[in-house]
């Protein structure tokens, strides 16, 4: 869309008066500015508000917001024994609804296809992903072969990591199908930004959404009883994302339980221990990975269809970073559609020719440990010391099924405000979008998502790797 | 399309085992923080009343630390240990542990009230604990803050008006 001239002059003034970062030559896309460095029309009201506040005013607001985060125990723990508030930058990322509609449709399309794949994998005769890929995955559970989950849905809550490569195009980096976390951080960041920065929000019509209603509808749709008993299973207050467990429990009005609260009764059902009499559980929204450790016998209860798990067991087979390569084919096969969203070009290292290509171009690629998560096991070779290359080359030659290679994507940066130095800085950002699928087969992606900001020295955005959150607004 | 079924919303006050565990420890940590603040304040005021100097205060705090089970290694400063550092017997750690239990079991208003006390306490310059007056003020500040936590418990857990035993039971049980 051509930028109006009047807006351009205003934007240029904003860039200089706010002392926004200068772009590097041929650097990555900066979402809040145009190619010529002037503030993007969509960000002009926001930046004008920031200009009105000035560096000192922004610092005061940032500190007020930090206090709000601290007081509300809005935390993400890196060390179980140390309380840590969630580091957040309060300049919102803005996505236009037209852009979002395409993202949302792409995410929902992918979720549907992944669920159909999992059903085909465990209950059918899937032929899309080669057998040696499936059987070499530590996430594939042969014990679940033949098991149909409630309403045939394996993945109810889905998180997908995207990066913006410019011009409204987003590329998928990976899928999260096990226990994707971050939706409460999405909600909380938006809530605080709108409450404490009314000047930022006043000029925008942010698209509303009701996660609580959608989740309740999803949980209810999976159960046969009229008034199902649902609980949220947490790994406890020392878990990294415990804030989210508590927040969702309050939001959805379902009890928060830990493993010690649950047991398997003589009837094979899951029961929750309570002072005034135990209660049978119909559905567990689980936020833990190793279920048998938390509740011995839970796997058997699930396979006997005595309890519903959200997400189901076995979903990790499609969460495998190598299976990722075949998701576009799943979409074509199961839905008869072309993928709406592009995904990062990835390489299966078992193929000799591909391996030769990867070894010859290691310094331009990203290597990912197949079973890694939370930013662990991701090697962005262009950003690393060359001395690592020979070691990683040895590792992938020794264990080609343990890694995938991926093209390095020059994704977008966004601006953050450093309240210590009262300066602005550009950082890499990604976008984790959440979607759900209910028992009626309906999918819903929640507008915006969680923008994660990388540390100043890298591109890995995970909070567990030292990244920040950023509120994300979808605007009309 | 099938109408969505409801999810029962009446279960969020179940007294599960983990809630009981966290409730007990929440109470214990809060009480411990308050007790340490109270006896620290009393010790400082007594030394001041008796006209004792820095050596007398140091001796009083060392006795207090010993009674709290704090082992002072080498030349550890007893005021710093009692106020901030000791893992299980400093005021700050007791408050932090209480916050941790509260996040699992207490209404958000109570969590906020505890966080408020911690933030106010963390804002005190640790170097000021060398001064008996400021040490006393910091301890008194915690005591005052915990009155606010108690009020928050009254307001958000039990309501402002006195409830019957049965009402209290049902408030938790449902």
CB contact under 8 A, A228 and B5: yes
Question: How many independent structural domains does chain A possess?
Answer: 2
Query: For residue A31, is it within any domain?
Result: no
Q: Token digits for A147?
A: 């098991």
Query: For residue B8, is it within any domain?
Result: no
A264 shares its domain with A188: yes
What residue numbers bound the domain in which A350 lies? 345-407
A114 shares its domain with A133: yes
Q: Are A51 and A57 in contact (CB under 8 A)?
A: no
Please state, in angstroms and rounded to a whole number, the distance separating the CA atoms of residues A119 and A36. 49
CATH number of the domain enclosing A379:
3.30.1490.270
Residues of B in contact with A255 (CB under 8 A): 11-12, 14, 16
CB contact under 8 A, A221 and B119: no
Which pLDDT score, from 0 to 100, does residue B169 have? Answer: 67
Query: For residue B90, is it within any domain?
Result: yes
Query: For residue B136, is it within any domain?
Result: yes
| Residue B171 confidence (pLDDT) above 70 | no
Please write the tens of the pLDDT for every residue from A233-273.
Answer: 999 999 989 999 999 999 998 999 999 999 999 999 999 99
A178 shares its domain with A208: yes
CB-based contact, A99 to chain B, within 8 Å: no
Residues of B in contact with A236 (CB under 8 A): 18, 104
CB-based contact, B164 to chain A, within 8 Å: no
User: What ipTM does the predicted assembly reach?
Assistant: 0.85
Q: Are A65 and A446 in contact (CB under 8 A)?
A: no
| Residue A467 confidence (pLDDT) above 90 | no
A391 shares its domain with A245: no
Among A366, A388, A407, the domain-final residue is: A407
Query: For residue A50, is it within any domain?
Result: no
Cβ-based neighbours of A91, under 8 Å, separated by 6 or more: A32, A46, A50, A200, A414, A415, A416, A417, A470
Please state, in angstroms and rounded to a whole number, the distance separating the CA atoms of residues A133 and A318. 11
Query: For residue B148, is it within any domain?
Result: yes
A108 shares its domain with A217: yes
Nearest-CB residue to B112 (from A71, A83, A236)? A71
Question: How many independent structural domains does chain B possess?
Answer: 1
A300 shares its domain with A388: no
A235 shares its domain with A314: yes
Return the minimum-mean-pLDDT range out of A4-13, A44-53, B82-91, B94-103: A4-13
CB contact under 8 A, B17 and A255: no
Please write the tens of the pLDDT for every residue from B15-36.
Answer: 899 999 999 999 999 999 999 9
Residues of A in contact with B103 (CB under 8 A): 73, 75, 237, 242-243, 246
Alpha helices in A182-326 (DSSP H): 183-196, 198-201, 211-222, 242-252, 291-294, 298-303
Query: For residue B3, is it within any domain?
Result: no
A168 shares its domain with A219: yes
Number of alpha helices (DSSP H) and beta strands (DSSP E) in chain B: 7, 0
What residue numbers bound the domain in which B119 lies? 17-160
Among A407, A422, A452, the domain-final residue is: A407
A325 shares its domain with A375: no
Please write the tens of the pLDDT for every residue from A89-109.
Answer: 999 999 999 999 999 999 999
Which pLDDT score, from 0 to 100, does residue A11 have? Answer: 54
Among A388, A407, A426, the domain-final residue is: A407
Residues of B in contact with A253 (CB under 8 A): 7-9, 11-12
Between the alpha carbon of residue A106 and those of residues A139, A343, B167, the distances in Å are 25, 11, 51
Query: For residue B116, is it within any domain?
Result: yes
CB contact under 8 A, B11 and A253: yes
């Amino acid at each position: 869309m051509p930028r109006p001239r009047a807006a351009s002059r205003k934007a240029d003034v904003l860039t200089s008066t706010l002392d926004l970062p200068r772009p590097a030559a041929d650097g990555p896309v900066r979402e809040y500015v145009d190619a010529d460095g002037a503030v993007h029309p969509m960000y002009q009201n926001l930046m004008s508000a920031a200009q009105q506040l000035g560096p000192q005013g922004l610092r005061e607001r940032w500190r007020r917001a930090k206090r709000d985060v601290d007081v509300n125990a809005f935390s993400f723990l890196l060390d179980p024994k140390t309380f840590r508030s969630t580091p957040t930058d309060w300049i919102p990322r803005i996505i236009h609804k037209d852009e979002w509609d395409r993202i949302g449709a792409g995410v929902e399309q992918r979720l549907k296809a992944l669920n159909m794949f999992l059903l085909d994998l465990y209950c059918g005769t899937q032929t899309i992903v080669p057998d040696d890929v499936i059987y070499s995955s530590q996430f594939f559970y042969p014990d679940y072969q033949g098991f149909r989950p409630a309403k045939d849905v394996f993945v109810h809550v889905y998180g997908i990591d995207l990066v913006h490569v410019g011009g409204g195009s987003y590329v998928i980096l990976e899928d999260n199908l096990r226990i994707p976390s971050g939706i409460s951080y999405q909600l909380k960041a938006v809530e605080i930004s709108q409450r404490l920065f009314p000047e930022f929000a006043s000029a925008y019509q942010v698209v509303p959404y009701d996660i609580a209603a959608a989740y309740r509808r999803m949980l209810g749709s999976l159960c046969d009883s009229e008034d199902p008993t649902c609980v949220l299973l947490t790994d406890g207050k020392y878990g990294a994302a415990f804030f989210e467990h508590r927040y969702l429990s309050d939001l959805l009005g379902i009890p928060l339980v830990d493993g010690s609260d649950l047991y398997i009764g003589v009837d094979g059902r899951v029961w929750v221990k309570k002072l005034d009499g135990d209660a049978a559980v119909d559905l567990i929204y689980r936020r833990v990975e190793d279920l048998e450790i938390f509740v011995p016998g839970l796997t058997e209860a699930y396979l006997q269809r005595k309890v519903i798990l959200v997400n189901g067991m076995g979903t990790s087979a499609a969460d495998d970073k190598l299976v990722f390569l075949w998701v576009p084919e799943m979409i074509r096969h199961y839905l008869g559609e072309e993928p709406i969203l592009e995904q990062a070009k990835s390489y299966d290292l078992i193929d000799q020719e591909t391996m030769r290509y990867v070894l010859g171009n290691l310094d331009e690629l990203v290597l990912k440990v197949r079973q890694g998560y939370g930013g662990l096991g991701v090697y962005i070779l262009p950003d690393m010391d060359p001395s690592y290359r020979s070691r990683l080359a040895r590792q992938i030659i020794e264990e080609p099924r343990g890694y995938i290679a991926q093209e390095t994507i020059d994704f977008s940066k966004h601006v953050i405000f450093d309240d210590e130095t009262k300066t602005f800085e550009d950082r890499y950002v990604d976008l984790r979008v959440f979607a759900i699928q209910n028992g009626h087969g309906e999918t819903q992606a929640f507008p915006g998502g969680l923008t994660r900001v990388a540390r100043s020295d890298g591109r890995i955005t995970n909070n567990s790797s030292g990244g920040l959150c950023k509120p994300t607004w979808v605007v009309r | 399309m099938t109408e969505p079924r409801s999810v029962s919303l009446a279960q969020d006050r179940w007294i599960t085992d983990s809630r009981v565990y966290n409730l007990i420890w929440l109470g214990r940590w809060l009480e411990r923080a308050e007790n340490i603040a109270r006896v620290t304040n009393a010790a400082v005021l007594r030394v001041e009343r008796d006209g004792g100097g820095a050596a007398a205060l140091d001796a009083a705090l060392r006795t207090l630390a010993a009674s709290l089970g704090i082992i002072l290694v080498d030349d550890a400063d007893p005021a710093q240990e009692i106020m901030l550092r000791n893992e299980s017997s400093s005021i700050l750690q007791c408050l932090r542990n209480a916050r941790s239990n509260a996040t699992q079991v207490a209404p958000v208003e109570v969590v906020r009230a505890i966080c408020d006390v911690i933030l106010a306490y963390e804002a005190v310059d640790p170097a000021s604990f060398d001064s008996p007056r400021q040490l006393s003020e910091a301890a008194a500040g915690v005591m005052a803050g915990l009155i606010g936590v108690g009020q928050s418990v009254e307001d958000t857990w039990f309501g402002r008006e006195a409830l019957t035993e049965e009402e209290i039971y049902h408030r938790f049980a449902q």
